[in-house]
Amino acid sequence: MILNGKGLAERRLELLKDEIREQGLSPSLATILVGDDSASALYVKMKHRACEQVGIQSVHVQLPKEATTSDVLDRLKQLNEDPDIHGILIQLPLPLQIDTHLVLAAVAPEKDVDGFHPINIGRLTSGLSGPRPCTPKGIMTILSEYGIQTSGAHAVIIGRSVDVGRPMALMLLLADATVTICHSKTQNLTKITREADILICAAGKPAMVTEDMVKGGATVIDVGTNHVNGKLCGDVDFETVSKIAGAITPVPGGVGPMTIASLMENTVEATRIRCNTVL
């Protein structure tokens, strides 16, 4: 079974568009991009295109690649204090001279639609409500919509990043999965991955997951976005793994579109909470 994230995202965005119109909401999202990285610029453009599609107003802040942490914090302060801005997204990665942790912690928690603020990560850890990081949230939506059982399943995650691997593990734990996190220092990786009912790869290495690493019938989620010879490919060798997996996400058209759809959903939810608070 091909887990079509693109088609699912389109359906979710249409529902969100109807919800915005029916509830009379006026959501707004601000993005901050530092530098001229082409991939980051493309991702931001795609997010603004999704905003336009569903009826979310969007504002973009572009800073030069020489910008300092103080420059970013100054613009961030303005957005935090602007009552017309409901969500703020810092496009990652930031240039090396900028303190990423400091910047993410400076976003107002109620406007943190990426779910990276320490308070929101803490709420996730505690099982409390709050904005969830968009990629793991999108993956959980895929699993739910396609009827992939998480309760009692052994989920193995390759990658321990703060934006995917770690929050993914927490969200799967909350969904009653037994979770193993693997990383660059993990020994006997293939032995571990072959035990997975659900295998999620977010390592950033092209085609690192091969047929011999996957249990027959397993669900394989490919988070990778690698450019090889001018083509986008994932962390999973799709051609071989798809022959034995029970379900698999393609690249492109899998997790990526659901990440953007989740961002839109988080923005609308932040708007709804803000409107209820003001009322």
Residue 204 CA: distances (Å) to CA of 139, 143, 164, 226, 227:
17, 21, 11, 7, 10
Query: How many angstroms separate the CA atoms of 63 and 118, rounded?
Result: 24
Report phi then psi at 232, rounded to 5.
-85, 130
**Residues in CB range of 82: below 8 A, 6 or more apart:** 30
Query: How many angstroms separate the CA atoms of 47 and 60, rounded?
Result: 11
| 125: its two tokens | 């850890």
What is the DSSP pairing of strand 226-228 with strand 231-233? antiparallel
Residues pairing with 221 in the sheet: 200
Active site residues: 47, 91, 114
